[in-house]
Chain A
């Protein structure tokens, strides 16, 4: 950690450049951060109106529910994706500079945190306009999403290694992560009856990492709290193991990065 700390200015510089680079050539600039989740809502509302889903009782209007849930999902998924690309994305840098490996993970976390927090903050007035009551849960909500972000980081660090040495597996993992969105209550309510998928949803940690903060904010409801705490406990251990795996493996990856 001492090595990483001495590189904090580099992390700050790299994150700033990478956050702004995506929009450097666009006219709308950072507005794209908002347009992407809005587009997702449009797609899901259209699918819903077509009668494709029976989402169950979502408590608030369905478009607001989906909009907010997909924004939370994006916080997890985009963090996972961003951290999982940390080694391949920085391959030239790693082949030409001696940088503590943890710095590239932290930079990717900051990069994605900025990208995800802006739509999340903008989603609050949107769901308010849809009739959601934002009460005292708002303060605790921002703390309660930290484990969701860290879960994305933990899986991302494992897949970052696999993206170099086991590309097929990492591709399969990317596809699987897209499917996982439907195996946790993002586009349907926590109580929705999904038949044979019920046990999978029940044991999916994302059910609690997404469901608890959402229920806390929208309904001031703590029903998933106990399971949420258990998941957070397991997540702490997973995060430590994942970081150990990443830092022990990274030196072996650098010399295999020539093709990236």
Chain B
């Protein structure tokens, strides 16, 4: 389907179901595998016993140059939606359209693809290759990756000896080297030192504003949303309950509707954080 030139992602009625019981889940999977190999219909639009909608009819469009923050409680469907946008999961219903020739680079688990017994430099070649880069492209990007990760001489030591923050820096620098058109970050910036995080957030802003890239990131840290996001998507129990360009409004809505069971002090602290940011702005 054709998409407007300035749209990078269009989600049309995306639904994804999961099963709450492991053994039943595997039994359903066996049934589905059998059906798909016999070219029979999977009837994906109805729930079977013990299944639930992890995502339910999500529809929205994301433009080039936007930083989208997805917020929601654990289990609200943020990671599932990120994986669908990244092409890792298939939706059960609906369609996820990515603009033609746009490169999507996801960062999920920071350790994924990093081998502890190999040096940072050796891991650059492996992880960048997993993103689809060839040797020549990696050779060309190598210096930038090492510089951006700020690992210095540690780039020649095994990754197993790295701190979590160092791994995060390396992973982020490698992902950036892929020069993505759409960058999906799932809590990957939750670890690491504050200075490097600030550098990443600044980098994200530059990417989107100067080079018209799209960033979709999942976080529980409202301060990071306030610093970078142009738009907030609030998810709750698999539904998109708020989609707004008013970041302040989106986060207040999130606190009011999704964090109502949290301690009042925490809710108040988050509201103050938003007000403080608004005043400073």
State whether B106 touches A96 (Cβ < 8 A): yes
State whether B29 touches A165 (Cβ < 8 A): yes
State whether A256 touches B33 (Cβ < 8 A): no
State whether A259 touches B22 (Cβ < 8 A): yes
* Number of cross-chain contacts by CB at 8 Å: 90
Instruction: Pick the interface stretch among A54-62, A77-85, A228-236, A247-255.
Output: A247-255
Chain B interface, number of residues (Cβ within 8 angstroms): 37
Q: Quick one: closest A residue to B104, CB to CB?
A: A98
Chain A interface, number of residues (Cβ within 8 angstroms): 35
Q: Quick one: given A10-B130, A97-B112, are A255 and B18 in contact (CB under 8 Å)?
A: yes
- Secondary structure type dominating chain A contacts: helix
Checking B32, B130, B132, B134 against A252 with a beta-carbon cut-off of 8 angstroms, the contacting residue is B32
State whether A256 touches B126 (Cβ < 8 A): no
Instruction: Pick the interface stretch among B86-94, B201-209, B222-230.
Output: B86-94
State whether B33 touches A161 (Cβ < 8 A): yes
Cα distance, A123 to B268, chains bound together (Å) = 73
State whether B30 touches A165 (Cβ < 8 A): yes
Cα distance, A240 to B22, chains bound together (Å) = 31
Q: Quick one: given A25-B117, A251-B90, are A6 and B109 in contact (CB under 8 Å)?
A: no
Checking B36, B88, B113, B115 against A248 with a beta-carbon cut-off of 8 angstroms, the contacting residue is B36
A249 partner residues in chain B, CB cutoff 8 A: 33, 36-37
B53 within 8 A of A: no
Q: Quick one: closest B residue to A21, CB to CB?
A: B117
With both chains docked as a complex, state the minimum distance between the C-beta of B191 and any C-beta of chain A, in angstroms. 15
Q: Quick one: given A9-B129, A14-B126, A165-B29, are A98 and B87 in contact (CB under 8 Å)?
A: yes
State whether A6 touches B115 (Cβ < 8 A): no
Checking A6, A9, A97, A167 against B106 with a beta-carbon cut-off of 8 angstroms, the contacting residue is A97
State whether B26 touches A256 (Cβ < 8 A): yes
A130 within 8 A of B: no
With both chains docked as a complex, state the minimum distance between the C-beta of A5 and any C-beta of chain B, in angstroms. 11
Q: Quick one: given A7-B132, A10-B129, A14-B126, are A96 and B29 in contact (CB under 8 Å)?
A: no
B154 partner residues in chain A, CB cutoff 8 A: none
**Interface 0/1 of A82-104, CB less than 8 Å to B:** 00000000001111111100000
A98 partner residues in chain B, CB cutoff 8 A: 86-88, 104, 106
State whether B88 touches A256 (Cβ < 8 A): no
State whether B109 touches A165 (Cβ < 8 A): no
A256 partner residues in chain B, CB cutoff 8 A: 25-26, 29
Checking A13, A245, A252, A255 against B129 with a beta-carbon cut-off of 8 angstroms, the contacting residue is A13
A221 within 8 A of B: no
Q: Quick one: closest B residue to A25, CB to CB?
A: B117
A259 partner residues in chain B, CB cutoff 8 A: 22
With both chains docked as a complex, state the minimum distance between the C-beta of A171 and any C-beta of chain B, in angstroms. 13
**Interface 0/1 of A1-41, CB less than 8 Å to B:** 00000110110111001000100110000000000000000
A109 within 8 A of B: no
**In the complex, chain B residues 193-236 whose Cβ is within 8 Å of any chain A Cβ:** none
State whether A17 touches B132 (Cβ < 8 A): no
B122 partner residues in chain A, CB cutoff 8 A: 17
Checking B30, B88, B104, B112 against A254 with a beta-carbon cut-off of 8 angstroms, the contacting residue is B88
**Interface 0/1 of B107-122, CB less than 8 Å to A:** 1110111010110001
Q: Given contacts A165-B29, A251-B90, list 10 more A-B pairs with CB under 8 A.
A: A9-B129, A9-B135, A13-B125, A17-B118, A21-B117, A93-B112, A96-B88, A96-B109, A98-B86, A249-B33
Q: Which residues in B have some Cβ–Cβ distance to A below 8 Å? A: 18, 22, 25-26, 29-30, 32-33, 36-37, 83, 86-90, 104, 106-109, 111-113, 115, 117-118, 122, 125-126, 129-135
14 intermolecular pairs with C-beta atoms under 8 Å apart: A13-B126, A13-B129, A17-B115, A21-B115, A97-B88, A97-B112, A98-B106, A99-B130, A161-B33, A166-B26, A166-B30, A167-B26, A248-B36, A256-B29
